């Protein structure tokens, strides 16, 4: 006689809460992630918040994606990359990090607005289509496990998984780990940010074979000075990756960079 294993009570309650969440998704109207107005369809932002968001497009720095006012040619670098070429090959972002996009990003990060991940990932698939076309593996910037517990989800991992579904490129959400809990980067200058995240990341040993000779697309929500993605890139290249590109939802644009 075959034994039928009874599901554990925690498995049952997990399944129930998943079911409740799925039903709630169907019943609750979707709200604009920036202002809270009810929106039609799958979008993340309402019609009045859209025009305020400043989308990034060409011409831009061939390396870091810094937007140029004039076209300097496809291989042109910004002053910062010319001085100090990044370890990653190309970084691209969907929109500017400014007053218009800040609220949306904070809500996505801290307010359980995980429902907008597919809409944001759709925009990233557009902005990063050249990068995705060559990527072997999508890897998110990890959170330290203590911060993950407090926040319950890693917004960059959600973007990576949604992007993987759209683009058909494998995602490895647990390939990198944050081995050191670093203080928040907020309010720190470029050099301090670099020191803050130096040596904070590692490739999980069991994931190492998956990384060998792969072209990685690294995912984060915001690119500020690039210190975090540079530290992750260094770790990925040391771990055997062939090359690393970076795709973020938003990017800080400082006028001084050009
Ligand atoms: Zn709105
Ligand atoms: Zn640049």
Give the pLDDT score at 3. 47
How far apart are the CA of 232 and the centre of ligand 1, in A? 33
Closest-lying ligand to the alpha carbon of 226? 2
Ranking 5-14, 107-116, 133-142 by mean pLDDT, the lowest is 5-14
**pLDDT confidence of 149, banded at 50, 70, 90?**
confident
Interatomic CA distance for residues 38 and 246, integer angstroms? 32
pLDDT at 122 over 80: yes
Q: What is the Å distance from ligand 2's center to 65 Cα?
A: 6
CB contact burial 113-143 (16+ within 10 A = b; e otherwise): bebbbbbbbbbbbebbeebbeebbbbbbbbb
CA of 29 to the centre of ligand 1 (A): 14
Phi, psi of 174 (to 5 degrees): -110, 20
Q: Ligand nearest 52 Cα, by number?
A: 1
Query: Which residue reads 């009810």 in tokens?
Result: 38
Mean of all residue pLDDT scores within the chain: 87
Ligand in closest contact with the CA of 82: 2
pTM for the model stands at: 0.86
Distance from residue 46's CA to the centre of ligand 1 (Å): 4
Question: Would the pLDDT of 23 be above 60?
Answer: no
pLDDT, average across residues 87-105: 93
For residue 103, tell me if it sits in a domain. Answer: yes
For residue 4, pLDDT over 90 is answered with: no
| Domain total of the chain | 1
- Residue 160, domain member (yes or no): yes
Give the CATH number, domain containing residue 208. Answer: 3.40.50.2020
Query: In 3D, which of 120, 128, 122, 41 has the Cα closest to residue 93?
Result: 128
Q: What is the residue range of 85's domain? A: 47-257
CB atoms within 10 A of CB 100: 17
For residue 10, being part of any structural domain is answered with no
- 167 burial (CB, 10 Å; 0-12 / 13-18 / 19+) is buried
Q: How confident is the model at residue 9 (pLDDT cuts 50, 70, 90)?
A: low
Backbone angles phi, psi at 62, to 5 degrees: -60, -30
More confident residue, 20 or 140: 140
Ligand nearest to the CA of 53: 1
Does residue 24 carry a pLDDT above 60?
no
CA dist 166 and 161 (Å) reads: 9
User: What's the pLDDT score for residue 208?
Assistant: 95
Q: Is the peptide bond before 59 cis (omega within 30 degrees of 0)?
A: yes
Q: Is the distance from CB of 34 to CB of 104 less than 8 angstroms?
A: yes
> Using an 8 Å Cβ cutoff, are 85 and 77 in contact?
yes
In a domain, 8, yes or no: no
How far, in Å, is the centroid of ligand 2 from the Cα of 190? 15
Residue 19 placed within a domain: no
DSSP 70: S
CB-based contacts of 25, cutoff 8 Å, min separation 6? 115
CA 93 / ligand 2 centre spacing (Å): 12
pLDDT in tens, 210-258: 999 999 999 999 999 899 999 999 999 999 999 999 999 999 998 655 4
Please state the rounded mean pLDDT for residues 50-59.
90
Q: 169-178, 194-203, 230-239: which range is least confident on average?
A: 194-203
């Amino acid at each position: 006689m075959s034994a039928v294993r009874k599901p554990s009570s925690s498995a049952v309650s997990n399944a129930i809460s998943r079911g409740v969440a799925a039903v709630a998704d169907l019943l609750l109207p979707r709200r604009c992630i920036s202002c809270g107005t009810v929106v039609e369809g799958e979008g993340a932002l309402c019609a009045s918040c859209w025009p305020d968001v400043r989308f990034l497009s060409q011409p831009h720095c061939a390396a870091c994606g810094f937007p140029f006012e004039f076209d300097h040619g496809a291989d042109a670098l910004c002053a910062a990359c010319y001085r100090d070429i990044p370890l990653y090959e190309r970084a691209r972002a969907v929109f500017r990090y400014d007053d218009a996009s800040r609220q949306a990003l904070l809500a996505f990060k801290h307010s359980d607005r995980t429902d907008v991940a597919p809409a944001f990932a759709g925009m990233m698939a557009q902005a990063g289509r050249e990068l995705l076309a060559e990527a072997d593996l999508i890897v998110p910037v990890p959170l330290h496990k203590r911060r993950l517990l407090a926040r319950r989800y890693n917004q960059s991992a959600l973007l990576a998984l949604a992007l993987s579904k759209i683009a058909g490129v494998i995602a490895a959400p647990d390939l990198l780990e944050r081995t050191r809990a670093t203080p928040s980067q907020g309010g720190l200058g470029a050099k301090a940010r670099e020191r803050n995240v130096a040596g904070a990341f590692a490739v999980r040993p069991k994931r190492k074979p998956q990384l060998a000779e792969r072209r990685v697309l690294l995912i984060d929500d915001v690119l500020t000075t690039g210190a975090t993605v540079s530290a992750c890139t260094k770790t990925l290249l040391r771990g055997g990756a062939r090359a690393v590109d970076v795709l973020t939802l938003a990017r800080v644009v400082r006028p001084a960079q050009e």
